[in-house]
């Protein structure tokens, strides 16, 4: 069942889904190590027998679990909500320590829908002259398919390597979409040693692994032993001129 991701996400792979899908091998267990917005998970035509989505971001994981299990109560939280800069700032600065999981999920969803560039670390209220803001009256309609898509899916909140080790089997397919090397805005440290660790696991694991990453000499050196495909995407969002234009992306597999 092909549907749209439920939130925008910095570094999302919506435009790369067609190329990624072509490279998915036969498997029984599908695991995303860095789910983020989950473009590949949501936009694939055919679901796998067993599916696992994982992310280190606790607020994101909470959102998926709430949409999976408590959609009706989630939608009720938007009854009196408005699309406004004032509400955005209020929610951004709100103390989440006393919120329920459903309230936290509502806050995260609202902020992510309205944040400029889908940034999760330094959110600012996004404005646009060519697209409409989120329609708060149609949230249930928009998320009903996602609720069904998430049915039976295991939602994990593990470090990527712990998730890898937990699910590595000969019939497992891993999709890895880690933070891009030398690009900021992800809100987490991901040093070159982490890419090397992933390469080491790709060499020794039982399962099949597909990695999508930005094209950089350091990355090509680390993954030179694997199959590397190059593709290009046009980036148009960003305040800095150097962040726009065509960028080379790599799809790397161990099969």
Residues 6+ apart with CB under 8 A from 228: 220, 250, 251, 252
Three-state DSSP state, 192: helix
**Would you say 98 and 90 are in contact if contact means Cβ atoms under 8 Å apart?**
no
pLDDT for 106: 97
pLDDT for 130: 60
Number of domains forming the structure of the chain: 1
Does 2 fall in a domain? no
User: Structural domain of residue 133, as residue ranges?
Assistant: 14-253
Specify the residue for token string 């790397």: 252
Q: What's the CATH code of the domain at 147?
A: 3.40.50.150
**Would you say 9 and 32 are in contact if contact means Cβ atoms under 8 Å apart?**
no
List the pLDDT tens digit at each of the 255 positions of the chain: 789 999 988 777 888 999 999 999 999 999 999 999 999 999 998 999 999 999 999 999 999 999 999 999 999 999 888 899 999 999 999 999 999 999 999 999 999 999 887 677 778 887 765 676 788 888 999 899 999 999 999 999 999 999 999 999 999 999 999 999 987 555 567 999 999 999 999 999 999 999 999 999 999 999 999 999 999 876 554 545 544 567 899 999 999
């Amino acid at each position: 069942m092909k549907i749209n991701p439920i939130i925008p996400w910095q570094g999302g792979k919506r435009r790369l889904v067609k190329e990624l899908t072509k490279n998915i091998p036969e498997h029984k267990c599908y695991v995303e190590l860095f789910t983020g917005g989950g473009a590949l998970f949501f936009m694939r035509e055919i679901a796998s027998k067993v599916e696992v989505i994982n992310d280190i971001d606790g607020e994101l994981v909470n959102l998926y679990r709430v949409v999976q299990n408590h959609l009706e109560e989630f939608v009720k939280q938007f009854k009196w909500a408005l699309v406004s800069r004032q509400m955005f700032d209020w929610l951004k600065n709100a103390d989440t320590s006393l919120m329920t999981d459903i309230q936290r999920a509502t806050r995260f969803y609202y902020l992510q829908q309205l944040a400029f560039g889908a940034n999760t670390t330094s959110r600012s209220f996004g404005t646009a002259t060519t697209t409409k803001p989120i329609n708060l009256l149609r949230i249930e309609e928009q998320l009903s398919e996602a609720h069904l898509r998430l049915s039976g899916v295991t939602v994990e909140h593990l470090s990527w390597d712990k998730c890898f080790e937990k699910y590595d089997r000969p019939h497992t397919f891993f999709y890895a979409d880690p933070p891009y090397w030398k690009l900021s805005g992800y809100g987490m440290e991901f040093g070159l040693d982490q890419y090397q660790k992933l390469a080491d696991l790709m060499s020794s694991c039982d399962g099949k692994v597909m990695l999508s990453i930005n094209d950089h000499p350091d990355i090509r050196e680390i993954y030179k032993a694997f199959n590397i495909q190059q593709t290009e995407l046009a980036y148009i969002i960003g305040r800095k001129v150097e962040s726009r234009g065509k960028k080379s992306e790599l799809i790397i597999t161990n099969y």
